[in-house]
Amino acid sequence: MAVRKPIAAINGFFSEGHQRTIIAKRNIAATFLIKGASILISLLLVPLTIHYVNPTEFGIWLTMSSFLTLIAYYYFTMDLVYTSTYLHEKTLRNVTALALATILLCVLCAIIETIQYKKLIHKRATGIWNK
């Protein structure tokens, strides 16, 4: 009996309101669940990895993994901002601002990728990965 009340409250929360609100609530909850699963997998992966590599290789792996995760979050954020801008300008039928936002996003991504590529080439040229 005591368990049914919180479950009913949760079901009520996700089924009340406008259809858009319900979809938004469910998407937000799904995002939190996926993010929690991702964190749990990362926490389980660390002890497993320590047994297969030495401490130096683990440090390199952890650094690269953290850097790639940071880049993934950065691109995810850029995607959300661009989607929001795109929908706003499309609603207003502002084609000029829509084209400008698209061009700026493409230029920003090109600059980021160029910097990353140059860092990679520099590391290979200086022999950091060859040791």
Give the model confidence (pLDDT) of 73-131 as tens digits: 777 777 777 777 777 877 888 888 878 878 887 888 788 878 877 777 776 666 655 55
The answer to whether the CB of 14 falls within 8 A of the CB of 26 is: yes
**pLDDT > 80? residue 15:** yes
Q: How many residues does the chain have?
A: 131
**pLDDT > 60? residue 29:** yes
**pLDDT > 70? residue 14:** yes
Parse the chain into domains and list their residue ranges: 1-52, 54-131
Q: Which is it for the CA torsion 15, 20, 23, 27, positive or negative?
A: negative
Lowest mean pLDDT of 13-27, 28-42, 59-73, name the range: 59-73
